Amino acid sequence: MAIPAAVKAAKIAITLASDKRTWKVIGVIIGATMTPFIIIVVAIMSMGSGTAHHNNAALDLTFNGGNIPSTMPLEYQTHIIEMRAAFAALQGAVDAIGLEAEWEGELDIIR
């Protein structure tokens, strides 16, 4: 009597599943398949981190002052200088309103 093909396939699958080399091959195939996706995710995360660091440095220069690097593009330098001037004007307006206020103390400049 002939053994059905499904039974033969099941026996071969069980034999392969219990073999350590088969699991290694499967792991290598999965790793090779996933590597491009992992590299893309790491690249996107790195660009996001660099952008966030750049933005934090620009905000620190604008709000807290400091020396503007000479390597910075001229348009960006001009923008930071204009923002500093605008914040100084706002601070002057807040101080003037604070002097005219009927309550004691200072205005909360963060608000």
**Residue-level pLDDT, tens digit, the chain, 111 residues:** 457 887 888 887 888 778 788 888 888 999 999 999 999 999 999 999 999 998 898 888 888 888 888 888 899 889 999 999 998 898 888 778 777 766 666 666 666
Measured between alpha carbons, how far is 101 from 107 in angstroms, rounded to an integer? 9
Written as six digits, the tokens of 38 are: 């992992």
Measured between alpha carbons, how far is 27 from 49 in angstroms, rounded to an integer? 31
Measured between alpha carbons, how far is 79 from 74 in angstroms, rounded to an integer? 9
Which pLDDT score, from 0 to 100, does residue 86 have?
A: 92
Written as six digits, the tokens of 93 are: 């307006």
Q: Give the pTM.
A: 0.54
